[in-house]
Every structure is written in C-alpha cells, then in structure tokens.
C-alpha cells in the first residue's frame, strides 16, 4: 500500500480505498493523498470534497482507480 500512497502523492492522481471506520462500517472512497504519516494518511476525499485523515490500521485495501470508459460516438 505504501507504493500506492506515494504514487498518489507524487502524481496527484486518485486511488480507491476500502476503509473501515471505528464503528465497523465499510466504505469505498476515492482519494488523492496529500500527506503520509506513520499512523495513516491525510487525503482529499473526492466524494465528500474534504480533507480527511485515514488510519493505516483501518485501510483494508488500496488500488489505482480504473478509467471509466465512455461511449464514443461517430
């Protein structure tokens, strides 16, 4: 996951996170990493349009975002 965090931080590109909050609820987030710390990351949450902090222990998975393919008309 550290490589993906660095990728997002350096290139300013979004990544997808599966995150579990303290109540045990899962959420899917699209984020752009702003800062990497020992305990977690500070990232811009695309869905909520806000800076959020994410605990490293609660991040279940991270992946590069896939490009959405649209329909090309002739």
For every one of its 74 residues, what pLDDT tens digit does the chain have, with 9 covering 90 and above? 899 999 999 999 999 999 999 999 999 999 999 999 999 999 999 999 999 999 999 999 999 987 766 666 65
Whole-number Cα distances in Å, 48 to 6, 43, 51, 54:
22, 11, 8, 14
pLDDT of residue 74: 57
Tokens 């800076």, located at residue: 51
Tell me, what's the pLDDT at 72?
63
- Whether pTM > 0.95 for this model: the answer is no
The number of C-alpha atoms within 13 Å of 4 and in the hemisphere containing its C-beta is: 17
For the stretch 52-57, contacts whose Cβ atoms lie closer than 8 Å and that sit 24 or more positions apart, written own/partner, are 54/17, 54/19, 54/29, 56/1
């Amino acid at each position: 996951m550290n490589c993906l965090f660095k990728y997002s931080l350096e290139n300013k590109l979004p990544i997808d996170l599966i995150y579990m909050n303290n109540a045990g609820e899962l959420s899917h987030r699209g984020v752009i990493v702003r800062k990497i710390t020992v305990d977690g990351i500070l990232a811009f949450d695309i869905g909520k349009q806000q800076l959020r902090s994410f605990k490293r222990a609660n991040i279940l998975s991270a992946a590069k975002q896939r490009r959405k393919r649209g329909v090309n008309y002739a």
